[in-house]
Every structure is written in structure tokens, then in C-alpha cells.
């Protein structure tokens, strides 16, 4: 990547999976990552509980920022996970 271009943004996303459980992750392309999960090529968690839909996603300027946000999201109780995406998370 040329040095004058900013790095691509990372996305934090939240999926609803079979059984009503949530899965959170980060990706450069949420739609592509969702399709990988659906095809069984994603995380071990989503191979056991296939994703049904993308519930929310938020853009972050770097992978580190997205990983820190993912850790904050995963620390929340289930009832507050969706609200995380509408608040200043």
C-alpha cells in the first residue's frame, strides 16, 4: 500500500446466530465476512451456530481501535450489546 494512503478502516460487527445467540467480530468487509461465516469458513463458534443476520456494524479507523471496541462490546451483558452500536462506543 502506498504510504500516502490511509489504511483501510476495520469494522466491528454483531451477528445473530441460530438459537438467538450473538457473535461479535471485526473485519475489513462485513458482508464478505458474514458470507464466510454462513459457508462455515468463519469462527468455530459460527460453525456450530450458523449466523442468521448482521445486527449492527460500526467503522473504526484502525484494527487496534476495532479490537479494543470488540473487547468492550464482549464485556457487556447481552441486553446492552445492540445499544453499544447507537452509543458512543
| Sign of the Cα pseudo-torsion (66, 70, 73, 78, in order) | positive
Q: Indicate whether 87 pLDDT > 80.
A: no
88 pLDDT tier (thresholds 50, 70, 90): low
Domain ranges (residues) in the chain: 10-86
DSSP element (H, E) containing 53: strand 51-60
Q: CA-CA distance, 78 to 6, in Å (whole number)?
A: 34
CATH architecture of 10-86: 3-Layer(aba) Sandwich (3.40)
DSSP 8-class letter at 28: S
Sheet holding 51-60, edge to edge: 22-27, 10-17, 51-60
pLDDT in tens, 4-47: 888 899 999 999 999 999 999 999 999 999 999 999 998 999 99
Amino acid at each position: 500500500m502506498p504510504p500516502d494512503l490511509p489504511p483501510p478502516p476495520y469494522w466491528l460487527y454483531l451477528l445473530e446466530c441460530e438459537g438467538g445467540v450473538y457473535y461479535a467480530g471485526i473485519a475489513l468487509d462485513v458482508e464478505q465476512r458474514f458470507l464466510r461465516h454462513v459457508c462455515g469458513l468463519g469462527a468455530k463458534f459460527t460453525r456450530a451456530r450458523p449466523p442468521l443476520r448482521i445486527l449492527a456494524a460500526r467503522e473504526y479507523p484502525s484494527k487496534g481501535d476495532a479490537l479494543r471496541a470488540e473487547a468492550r462490546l464482549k464485556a457487556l451483558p447481552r441486553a446492552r450489546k445492540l445499544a453499544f452500536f447507537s452509543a458512543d462506543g
